[in-house]
Amino acid sequence: MKAARTILYILAGIIIVFSFLFILGAFSPDGSTSWLWVGIIGLLVGFLCIFWGSRLGAKAEQTTQNVTLQVDLPGNVSMDTIKCQSCGAPLSAEDIKMVNGAPMVSCPNCGTTYQLTEEPKW
């Protein structure tokens, strides 16, 4: 997905540069007004490519984060044994979020937020 985004951005860059040339050409003595339209449409297509590229990137990053969450969670901890360190309330997978690459627990019961360590003390 990252390669697709890079290709889209390069493509968008080329399209936008050519569109500018067409618009400039339209104002030159040999130019025709139809070139102006080609340039404007080209610019629109170019910016659409960037828009798609950023959307593709957002999707790809989301997928990566989900994968990281599964990989980075301590392997010896099963979800139904995790309890809040300060109040002891059971925690579910939704209460654990990835912050800067570290699994952070945010307790829905007492509101405490702390980092999930590799060797839990409970």
Which residues of this chain interact with Zn ion, rule CB under 5 A?
Answer: 84, 87, 89, 107, 109-110
Residue 13: CB minimum distance to Zn ion, A: 50
Question: How many other C-beta atoms are found inside a 10 Å radius of the C-beta of residue 84?
Answer: 20
Beta carbon nearer to Zn ion, 29 or 122: 122
Residue 86: CB minimum distance to Zn ion, A: 5
User: How far is Cα 86 from Cα 121, in angstroms, rounded to an integer?
Assistant: 12
Beta carbon nearer to Zn ion, 60 or 83: 83
Beta carbon nearer to Zn ion, 1 or 87: 87
Q: Give the burial string for 16-52 (b: 16+ CB within 10 Å, else e).
A: beebeebbeebeeeeeeeebbebbeebbeebeebbeb
Residue 90: CB minimum distance to Zn ion, A: 10
Report phi then psi at 28, rounded to 5: -80, 160
Residue 75: CB minimum distance to Zn ion, A: 24
Beta carbon nearer to Zn ion, 89 or 102: 89
